[in-house]
Amino acid sequence: MVDFPYTQVTGKVRNFLEKIRGAGVLPKVSHAWLKTIGFTSSNDATLIGVLKFIGFIDGSSIPTQVWRDFRGGRHKAVLGDAIKKGYSELYAIYPDAHSRSNGDLTHVFSTSSTAGQQVISKTVATFKALVAEAEFSASSTSEDRGVLHSGPLHAAPSSFAPGAPQLPPSQSGPAVHIDIQIHISPESTAEQIDKIFESMAKHLYGRKED
């Protein structure tokens, strides 16, 4: 079970990230450094834990290569990648977590923590604040989902199962178009994936095993 981070000052996340891009790469992040860039509240210190969670600083609070990359022109994409890595357990459940509703996120964070509702709400708000400053490519999101889109059931069988007999077109009535999405776990073996398609060929096309 992972402890997702939260900050009480989610409204300062944007300004904080802008400060990181504008300031030099310091030897170590500290509460004293926060004060030098204008974050003097005691609650501002919780921003350091968020940085550590997404890999901007290491366990010793020393800036990582991710921090350095974030200062470049691809800062939004760099932040997006850092979020997906830091929140990997969330993305394992919702590969499009950055597009999910507060309700979906609350459910995941609640089942991953023993914290109260107030902390869970701040955890959701923290994630949303980070996401608002990041960029997530459509192609990488599609790949991460691991979703295979089959052709419609009335399409040529070669687009779904090689050698399966083609269903005859309907002679009357409106055509029915059905799309199927298959969610396959990254941990699935090749044998398990083959079994999935064999089962679908059997039930959808009436194909019998050899």
Q: Is the pLDDT of residue 202 over 90?
A: no
What residue spans of 133-182 are helical by DSSP H? 138-145
Q: What is the pLDDT of residue 104?
A: 97
Q: Is the pLDDT of residue 129 over 50?
A: yes
Residue 2 lies in a domain: no
Q: Is the pLDDT of residue 48 over 70?
A: yes
pLDDT band of 3, cuts 50, 70, 90? confident
Q: What is the pLDDT of residue 53?
A: 98
Which of 91, 71, 186 is CA-nearest to residue 131? 91
pTM of the model: 0.66
Distances (CA, A) of 68 to 32, 102, 153, 198: 20, 31, 49, 48
Residue 146 lies in a domain: no
pLDDT band of 161, cuts 50, 70, 90? very low
Q: Which of 146-155, 168-177, 180-189 has the lowest mean pLDDT?
A: 146-155
Residue 170 lies in a domain: no
| Cβ(123)–Cβ(113) below 8 Å | yes
Mean pLDDT of 100-113: 94
DSSP strands (E only) in 26-98: none
Distance of alpha carbon 194 from the chain centroid: 27
Q: 60: domain range?
A: 10-133
**Number of folded domains that form the chain:** 1
Residue 112 lies in a domain: yes
Residue 187 lies in a domain: no
For 83-100, the pLDDT digits (tens) are 999 999 999 999 999 999
**In the 8-state DSSP scheme, what is residue 207?**
P
Residue 81 lies in a domain: yes
Residue 117 lies in a domain: yes
Residue 155 lies in a domain: no
Which of 27, 15, 36 is CA-nearest to residue 67? 27
Which of 136, 24, 12 is CA-nearest to residue 74? 136
